[in-house]
Amino acid sequence: MTDMASLFFDAVIALAGSQGPHDYFATQALSGARLIIAADGGAQGLLRYGYPPNWVIGDFDSISEQVSKSLAPETKIIRFPKDKNYTDGELATAAAVLLAADVDLFAETFRHPLREIDEDVLYRAFELQTSLEGKSFVFVNYAGVRHDHTLANIALARRLAICGANVFLTDGTTLARIVSGPAELDSVFSPECFNVAREKFSDTRFLFSVQPLDDHVTGFSLKGLKWECDCVPLSLGRSLTLSNQPHSLYPDSAAVQIHTGTVMFFTFPEHL
């Protein structure tokens, strides 16, 4: 499976959540993205990181005029109406998956009589992409003060993972990864994930947490940290696997096995 070590992702999807206090992970992910796609106000966060989006997709109700004027002339813009059946995040993710498959979003298939692209046709085409093996995506600034948005964004990322994609999420300070079983990983977060931390924050220790995303996680094993698990079930609401400790500064030797179910892994600085 692809990890941060490759420094290559098919697409980064920037959402309008919050940035963490330190950037250990976001710019590293952005530097390795083939495509950078902003969901509406997510463009603002990208510009703060110094990475202008290739695409901005949404109804433009949360993007300022100043940010709009700061976009590069070559940025592709897809504007949808405010009253629609999908969030901007859903449509940006749908576009990211299709673009990663080299689909032409401006093809006649997607045309709408009143605007460039029909959001219903776009989303139906996304739903047909049921096998995402070999594809990799990063959701940037997926969490924020709108907790309903946070949960919706995690559910959206989970959907890609269930379809076989390699999926990471970050606000810069915390790095998360969603994995759907059956799976076996020698290192959930490779040593290269912590390159920026090593270079700029060399005395910061990172912890490791696990959260099941459904009630069907079985055969979960975790090795390489202070507290280990051996072929146990994980149930929603059980906090057995939070705040685990590495044997060094970084949990880069955490190895896992999952028989069934979907799990979200987190690494974050100890001082949070």
Express each pLDDT in 204-262 by its tens digit: 999 999 999 999 899 999 999 999 999 999 998 888 899 999 999 999 999 999 999 99
Express each pLDDT in 96-155 by its tens digit: 999 999 999 999 999 888 778 899 999 999 999 999 999 999 999 999 999 999 999 999
Q: Is 134 left (phi over 0), alpha (psi -120 to 50) or beta?
A: left
DSSP state of 105: T
- Does an H or E element contain 257, and which? strand 255-258
Q: What pTM, to 2 d.p., does this model score?
A: 0.94
For residues 247 and 17, what is the distance between their CA atoms, to the nearest angstrom?
32
Give phi and psi for 265, each to the nearest 5.
Answer: -105, 145
- Structure tokens that stand for 207 in this block: 């912890």
Express each pLDDT in 63-77 by its tens digit: 877 887 788 889 999
Do residues 174 and 268 make contact, with C-beta atoms less than 8 angstroms apart?
yes
Q: Which domains does the chain have, with CATH numbers?
A: 1-173 (3.40.50.10240), 179-272 (2.60.120)
Express each pLDDT in 168-202 by its tens digit: 999 999 999 999 999 999 999 999 999 999 998 88
**CA dist list (Å): 65 to 21, 27, 47, 236:** 25, 24, 14, 42
pLDDT-derived band of residue 167, with 50, 70 and 90 as boundaries?
A: very high
